[in-house]
Structure 1
Amino acid sequence: MSLIGSGFLTIFSFVFLISIVVVIHELGHYWAGRFCGVHAEAFSMGFGPTLVSWRDKRGTVWRVAAFPVGGYVKFLGDAGAASEPDADKLAQLRQQMGEAADRCYHFKPIWQRAFITAAGPIANFILAIVIFSGIAMTFGSQPYQLPIVGSVVEGGAGEEAGFEVGDRITAINGNRIDTFQDIITEVVWRPGEELRFEIVRDDTAMVIMAAPRGQREEDRFGGTRTLGRIGLGSVEGSALQDRYNPIEAVGQGIDRTWSVVSMTARYVSRVVTGRASAELLNGPVGIVTAAGQTASTSIEAGDSAGESVFLLLVNLINLAAFLSVGLGLVNLLPIPILDGGHLVYYAYEAVARRPLSMQAQALGFRVGLVFVLGLMLVATWNDLNYLLGQIF
């Protein structure tokens, strides 16, 4: 594939991913607002100059902007990301708005404001469930290997801890293990951390404590990362699930989404508390890279143009599910600039029976902005290091 073609495909894939997850997030806020009787003044798909716009019968202006890398919904009375008026500002606002105040976001009960705020991340989780369920119902599950030790690497962490061929791993740190891939998923982001492995050996339940060792590895795209490895191999052969019916598929979608939520939340919490390396944290550049790599491998895997396009769409939609979970979780962090921070404000208001002062809100906004920017800088630094590893 030419450099120009590859660049175009990367841009298309990135815009496709971001458009799906961000628009769904904002639609979650929008529909929750409509349910609660809040007027939405505008809904924007993208930022920057308006390309197309129209006004619906409810008075909401819908616009498609020039830069499709995000979006927002603006409710009546909303003045920005840090817009949470205190008691005095609310009184002035109600007087200015008159009867229209009944459709204003800020004058709704706390539970409704909290619901509207939480609806964005909830929509992201629902999107992930729908995607994973659809994939399970359409394609079934991929062949998988049972969580049974087929080999122990000589001198590795597994041998040192006392693992033996034939051991069946049932849980790691209390998290259930169903496939050998689950073992890899649990240890890959925890190099150096001692883990509790629950196993069954000769029908006897046992516990083995072992710490994965960090290994610098090259992936199929030429980049390198430090990953945790326990030094265990799977048994030969694999099991295969037949396709799921709709009810089973939804169950699989929920289970898959929860697994991604659980792993991501545990990893982020360990990064924030200094118990894990932030090396696996990706930023915008990482998303662009992942989108481009996924698109390129999908196109190359197809035997025909039609099959390549089909694989491209399926793999990008699957990646969108993971990205959607990440966006939902990040927005639930208790940081004032994010949805989670607003939920903290509402919790305070529910207990104190008054909104937080504007001064305290402004301070929280600044602290939250610094934290988010710091997180983005770390993630972008990781992205750049990864890209440099592909070049040098």
Structure 2
Amino acid sequence: MLGPLVVLHELGHYLVGRWFGVGAEAFSVGFGKEIAGYTDKRGTRWKLSALPLGGYVQFQGDMNPASVPDADAPVREGDFQNAALWKRALIVAAGPVANVIVALAIFAAFFMVFGRPVATEQAQETVISSFSENSPAQQAGLRVGDRIVAVDGEAVGSYRDLVMEVMLYPETELDVTVERGGENVTIPVTTLSDERVDQFGNATIVGVIGVYGSAVEPVFEPVGPITAVGMAWHQSLDTVDMMLVGIKQIVVGDRSVKELGGPITIAKVSGEQLSLGWLEFTSFAALISLNLAFINLLPIPALDGGHLAFYAVEAIRRKPASPRSQELAFRTGMALVLGLMLFVTVIDIAKLPIFGS
């Protein structure tokens, strides 16, 4: 899962760099000792390395794959550091953009294959048909026959939309707007916290309001490529919004850090999704690809977002930040990234069955 997505990320850097005439000294699939490789006519060493955990591209004039300039290297045409500022920014941004394109392509392909639900049928799904036991929605004053049209101001067009708007907010008061007798009525509802355990034993805490929608046979209509891409874009934005909400809740303490996952969790869930079929696995790949794009765009030195932040400073100051400040920021950024990797890996290991989860 991670290996190909990281390689595509690095390929984005490489292709835009090549487009702008920046040379690449090496493109590696994996890290560590080279197992096999060859050098092309442009002087790029394409290689397969021992640790299959992604890959990297090392541009001409860089001291290492993190694009730290080699101060002792002679200035040559095609060096990354000698490219115009806007070109360097686009080369750096191309990696996360490649991951976004992967997710868009997957989502768009799904919409083109399966189509989109008909709006009128979706709207009927949000008509309340019954309540669960101890339903907070019923206790707050919602009634059978009400049609839920919005949650906290966000329009709800289907039962899936309703679930997505509620599930991220356990034990939280939400303003639920329903259509009743031709008028819209807004009622505050405090969600319950519900632990869901899937067939693989993975537990997730979700928010629920205890309503059941009307049973409607879904009707799908075919869509063309342009419409599918637009729908894929909205799907990607919704996914990123879920990530942001989840991270915020972990930071403020509304969710446990145990819900974070690193490479071990990704490997475990990837295997589980693959066991369910290629559709589930591919959908999970889109989610991970968006995660890679999001993480790499964080303004942390040593990540793509950190480089872009320095380029923004350079554009404002009309000159680069001092080598000393860049080195200090890079070391700090590396410490943060490695610390986070260690933290989530410890959580991953602690969740393994051998430790009693």
Which of 237, 240, 243 aligns to 1:261? It is 240
Matched, 1:138 2:117: no
The question of whether the paired residues in 2 share the 8 Å contact of 1:223 and 1:390 is answered with no
The question of whether the paired residues in 1 share the 8 Å contact of 2:140 and 2:189 is answered with yes
Amino acid at match of 2:296: N
CA offsets 1:308-341 (integer angstroms, 9 cap, x no match): xxxx3x3322221111011101111111121111
CA offsets 1:292-318 (integer angstroms, 9 cap, x no match): 1112233xxxxxxxxxxxxx3x33222
CA offsets 1:215-251 (integer angstroms, 9 cap, x no match): 2332121232322222222222232213323233222
Question: What residue in structure 1 maps to residue 159 of structure 2?
Answer: 180
Distance in 2, Cα, partners of 1:161 & 1:373: 47
Deviation of 1:270 (Å): 4.0
Distance in 2, Cα, partners of 1:172 & 1:34: 47
Amino acid at match of 2:132: V
The question of whether the paired residues in 2 share the 8 Å contact of 1:81 and 1:337 is answered with no
For 1:197-236, list aligned pairs within 5 A. Answer: 197-236=176-215
Alignment CA distance shift 1:386-1:191 (3 Å) = farther
Which of 114, 117, 122 aligns to 2:92? It is 117
Alignment CA distance shift 1:196-1:109 (3 Å) = farther
Distance in 1, Cα, partners of 2:350 & 2:131: 32
Deviation of 1:26 (Å): 0.7
Deviation of 1:384 (Å): 4.2
Which of 320, 327, 347 aligns to 1:362? It is 327
Q: Which has the higher helix share?
A: 1
Question: What residue in structure 2 maps to residue 28 of structure 1?
Answer: 12
Alignment CA distance shift 1:387-1:169 (3 Å) = farther
Which of 325, 328, 346 aligns to 2:311? It is 346
The question of whether the paired residues in 2 share the 8 Å contact of 1:161 and 1:209 is answered with yes
Deviation of 1:72 (Å): 0.5
Which of 65, 86, 89 aligns to 2:49? It is 65
CA offsets 1:251-296 (integer angstroms, 9 cap, x no match): 2222222221222233224434555544432211111111111122
Deviation of 1:21 (Å): 1.1
Question: What residue in structure 2 maps to residue 289 of structure 1?
Answer: 268
Question: What residue in structure 1 maps to residue 33 of structure 2?
Answer: 49
Query: What secondary structure sits across from 1:37 in the alignment?
Result: coil
Which of 227, 236, 241 aligns to 2:220? It is 241
Query: What secondary structure sits across from 2:221 in the alignment?
Result: coil
Matched, 1:107 2:82: yes
Distance in 1, Cα, partners of 2:172 & 2:15: 43
Q: Runs in 1 of length 4+ with deviation above 6 angstroms?
A: none
TM-score by length of 2: 0.88
Matched, 1:383 2:344: no
Alignment CA distance shift 1:157-1:361 (3 Å) = farther
Which of 290, 293, 299 aligns to 1:334? It is 299
Question: What residue in structure 1 maps to residue 250 of structure 2?
Answer: 271
Deviation of 1:22 (Å): 0.9
Query: What secondary structure sits across from 2:298 in the alignment?
Result: coil
Deviation of 1:391 (Å): 5.7
Amino acid at match of 2:110: I
Alignment CA distance shift 1:370-1:192 (3 Å) = farther
How many residues are matched? 353
The question of whether the paired residues in 1 share the 8 Å contact of 2:59 and 2:65 is answered with no
The question of whether the paired residues in 1 share the 8 Å contact of 2:140 and 2:188 is answered with yes
Report percent identity of matched pairs.
Answer: 38
Alignment CA distance shift 1:55-1:78 (3 Å) = same
Alignment CA distance shift 1:140-1:386 (3 Å) = farther
Deviation of 1:122 (Å): 0.6
Query: What secondary structure sits across from 2:222 in the alignment?
Result: coil
Distance in 2, Cα, partners of 1:115 & 1:170: 41
The question of whether the paired residues in 1 share the 8 Å contact of 2:168 and 2:242 is answered with no
Distance in 1, Cα, partners of 2:85 & 2:143: 56
Alignment CA distance shift 1:174-1:277 (3 Å) = farther
Amino acid at match of 2:3: S
Distance in 1, Cα, partners of 2:343 & 2:181: 46
Distance in 1, Cα, partners of 2:257 & 2:187: 27
CA offsets 1:75-113 (integer angstroms, 9 cap, x no match): 01122365445xxx86x65xx22xx2x311111222111
Bigger drift between 188-197 and 68-77 goes to 188-197
Question: What residue in structure 2 maps to residue 4 of structure 1?
Answer: none
Distance in 2, Cα, partners of 1:175 & 1:240: 23
Query: What secondary structure sits across from 1:238 in the alignment?
Result: coil
TM-score by length of 1: 0.81
Deviation of 1:359 (Å): 2.8
The question of whether the paired residues in 2 share the 8 Å contact of 1:224 and 1:386 is answered with no
